[in-house]
Amino acid sequence: MSIDILQAQLRDKVSAEVRVAGEGDDRYRVFTPFMFDDGDHLSIVLKRIGGQWILSDESNTFMHLSYELDDESLREGTRQKIISSALSLFDVAEHDGELTHLVRGEEYGDALHTYVQALLRIADVTIEANLGQIVAAES
């Protein structure tokens, strides 16, 4: 598939602001307008592994969350429930901090749309953490 066709499919399903840049054989960096609360953009790579195309954050989402939260707090309580729910709801796998989503058939745009929703939902754990700090400070 050409990079122009891929970019057109992603723009059609997600946003006209999506851009794609090749990074070698069967690997593309996907730039979207979607950001974490601090203004950093989501990190998304489309790559072929074992004959299948996947979207990956290459562990960037959890790394980004660790700037505000310790790793242990992501694995317990409400935060863990938010993350588990997002993984299940959007069919995203997590392995050693890397979040991946399989592209089914030629549905690159649909896959990116679903994947972005999952990453944003997971990033919302910082909102829960910030609300907890506000409530504690007001008590």
**CATH number of the domain where residue 61 is located:** 3.30.1460
For residue 113, give its domain range.
3-138
Residues 20/13, Cβ–Cβ less than 8 Å: no
Query: What total of structural domains would you count in the chain?
Result: 1
Percent of the chain at pLDDT > 70 equals 86
- Report d(CA 45, CA 17) in Å as an integer: 16
Bridge partners of 49, per DSSP, are 52
Buried b / exposed e over 88-99, threshold 16 CB at 10 Å, is eebebebeebeb
Bridge partners of 45, per DSSP, are 29, 56
The more confident residue out of 127 and 90 is 90
**DSSP H or E segment with residue 21:** strand 19-22
Which pTM was predicted? 0.85
* Per-residue pLDDT tens over the stretch 44-98: 999 999 999 999 999 999 888 887 776 666 676 778 888 899 999 999 999 999 9
Residues 13/115, Cβ–Cβ less than 8 Å: no
